[in-house]
Amino acid sequence: MSARKKDSEITWRDIELGAVIRTPGNAAEYKTGDWRSEKPTWNKDRCIKCGICALFCPEGCIHHDKEGYFEADFYYCKGCGICARECWTQAITMGPEEQ
């Protein structure tokens, strides 16, 4: 695909031969955060920093913050709620995505 054009601006003439992608790892540019209808929030008072949320996150988008607590990268987080479902201490709650 042609470099750095938005998907909506790519024409059929821009498609590479065989529709191959010649930039390795460019799936990272693909924003899935806008699929979200609910978003997780972490209650640091209940969090024991076990990391089970990060292990279960199917998007791999939950990371440590500087203090060792966990947070989601909302560019990718789809709001699936698996982290909240798996959290042993119910430190994560799913709430409506703000418009």
Q: Is 11 in the site for another protein (CB under 8 A)?
A: yes
By beta-carbon proximity to another protein, the closer residue of 26 and 43 is 26
In this chain, which of 12, 34, 45, 68 binds another protein, going by CB under 8 A? 12
Task: Judge residue 71's burial from the number of C-beta atoms within 10 Å of its C-beta, 0-12 exposed, 13-18 middle, 19 or more buried.
Answer: middle
Rounded distance, CA 52 to CA 36, Å? 21
Contact of 62 with 72, CB cutoff 8 Å: yes
Q: Is 99 in the site for another protein (CB under 8 A)?
A: no
Q: How far is the CB of 99 from another protein (least distance, A)?
A: 23
